[in-house]
Amino acid sequence: MTVKVFSQETDSLVIKGNDALMKKENVTAANYFKEYLSKNPNDTRILVALGAAYINLKNYNDALQCFDKAVTLDSTYARALSSRGACLIMLNDFTRAKQDLITAMKLDPEDVMTYNSLATLFAYQGDTATAFITYENAIAHDPKYLETYWNRGALYLNFNNYERALVDVNKAIEINPNIAKSFYFRGTLYKYLNEYDKAMADFNKAIELEPDNGEAYVRRGILYLAMGNYTKAIEDMEKGYGINPDLKEQTKDYYKEAKEKSK
């Protein structure tokens, strides 16, 4: 058996890249991983990590190239296949996505990420019954994996089942009370339930946990709009757009309404 030995320098690049990825500093993470790969171009682990950073940046085509190379180098690497499947969902290539995810599941039947991605695929295809069953399977394999609760909660939200969605997001907060996404998700649910005080508390908590989270500001701005505070609505939405410009197109109608009503 050949043992691959990495230099202290390359090990440091991986550590720094993983740390940046955990902190959602995806551009920084990608730069560390690319520097590492310039010296170790066939390391499938880091190809997958670089692909994950690209997915977080919504750079799906570059992510796909990373996953393709990783799978070419090792066609039995379940995480590479699972990651490529998740990426293909984002690219609306559902047939290839399903093939990758099923293969990954056979190679590693215990990987909750694969079950979660497969459930998301079924949801995208409109097969909600199978999606819910697959989310249940994901939870059975790892009841502490937050993504499953967020995604199943979002599916409940699509059907205006706010109470069931609330159960899922509360579970996510119980597992880890330090994740901003859980709080701005729950804040959105409370807004739909017209519990504005609870919604405001959750949006404030999300911003406290992650002050550079543009979505938390935009969602709080939409809440201010519902409460009739148009000045604060505009301020929050503009703050969110400054952090994440992509949010402006998604919420432009709310922003337009706030501007019109503030006159």
pLDDT in tens, 42-79: 999 999 999 999 999 999 999 999 999 999 999 999 99
CA distance 66 to 1: 26
Dihedral angle, C-alpha 99, 104, 106, 111, nearest 10 ° = -140
Q: pLDDT for 221-249, tens place per residue?
A: 999 999 999 999 999 999 999 998 889 99
Q: Contact 155/131 with Cβ under 8 angstroms?
A: yes
Question: Confidence band (pLDDT; 50, 70, 90) for 166?
Answer: very high
pLDDT band at 9 (very low <50, low <70, confident <90, very high): low
Q: What is the pLDDT of residues 179-188, one digit of tens each?
A: 999 999 999 9
Which whole-number Å values give the CA distances from 81 to 36, 70, 189, in the listed order? 22, 9, 34
Which domains are assigned to the chain?
A: 183-263 (1.25.40.10)
| pLDDT score, position 1 | 27
Q: CA dist 94 to 55, 80, 126, 135, 228, Å? A: 17, 17, 12, 18, 42
Predicted confidence at residue 263, as pLDDT, reads 80
Q: Provide CB contacts within 8 A for 190, sequence distance 6+.
A: 196, 198, 199, 202
Q: Which of 12, 85, 18 shows the shortest CA–CA distance to 45?
A: 18
> Mean pLDDT score of the chain, rounded to an integer?
93
- Reply yes or no on whether the pLDDT at 176 is more than 90: yes
Q: Is the pLDDT of residue 7 over 50?
A: no
Residue 246: the pLDDT is 86
- Tell me how far apart the alpha carbons of residues 201 and 219 are, in angstroms, rounded to a whole number: 12
- Helix and strand numbers (H, E) in the chain are 16, 0
The pTM for the full model equals 0.84
Q: Stretch 150-176: mean pLDDT, rounded?
A: 96
Q: pLDDT tier at 10 (50, 70, 90 boundaries)?
A: low
pLDDT more than 90, % of the chain: 91
